[in-house]
Amino acid sequence: MHPNEMKYPGIPTRIMTKFYALALLTLFITSCSHKKLPVKKIEEGGVTVFWYRTSDLTNTHAYVEVTENDRTTVVLNYRDGAITDIDYDFGDIVIKIISPENINKKDFLNKVGRHQVRLVAATQNEYFKHYQPEYYKR
């Protein structure tokens, strides 16, 4: 008699193995969903600027959304590790980013509603402050 048949009398080992494999696969697939992981949210004068990340098995992306008058627009979709900060400055949306010259035009809107969106080059020190604080030099 097989040891598993003693633990689960009447259930063959093959069925239990398939059950465990299916349970692990289901757990793996459901844990890889595109949940919004918030980083920073600014609400000012009826405008909300929201920076969040999504992640799946192989890719991590950062997004910046602007919501005004119940209308939400994604102004930036970029690989993670590039955005270091966002700000709302006198009606303009400012995104600090490493290597802004590498942004694909289809992933970026430079104007949303009455607001200009500006990309500002971030320094390496700002990158370390946000992503690797142990290496941050004050």
Bridging pattern class, strands 83-89 and 92-97: antiparallel
Task: In whole angstroms, give the CA distance from residue 104 to residue 95.
Answer: 15
Q: Looking at residue 90, what is its pLDDT?
A: 86
What is the per-residue pLDDT for 49?
Answer: 94
* pLDDT string in tens for the chain (138-residue length): 555 555 655 566 777 677 777 777 666 665 555 678 888 999 998 899 999 988 776 778 889 999 998 899 999 888 766 788 999 988 899 999 887 777 777 778 888 888 999 888 888 777 777 777 776 666
pLDDT at 10: 59
**Distance linking the first and last C-alpha atoms of the chain:** 67
Return the residue matching tokens 């890719």: 59
Question: Residue 117: in which H helix or E strand, if any?
Answer: strand 115-121
pTM above 0.85, yes or no: no
Instruction: Determine the Cα–Cα distance for residues 2 and 29; give it in Å rounded to an integer.
Output: 31
Q: Reading across the β-sheet that carries 115-121, which strands appear in turn?
A: 83-89, 92-97, 115-121, 111-112
CA separation (Å) from 85 to 24, 59, 70, 98, 132? 38, 20, 24, 10, 14
Which pLDDT belongs to residue 73?
92
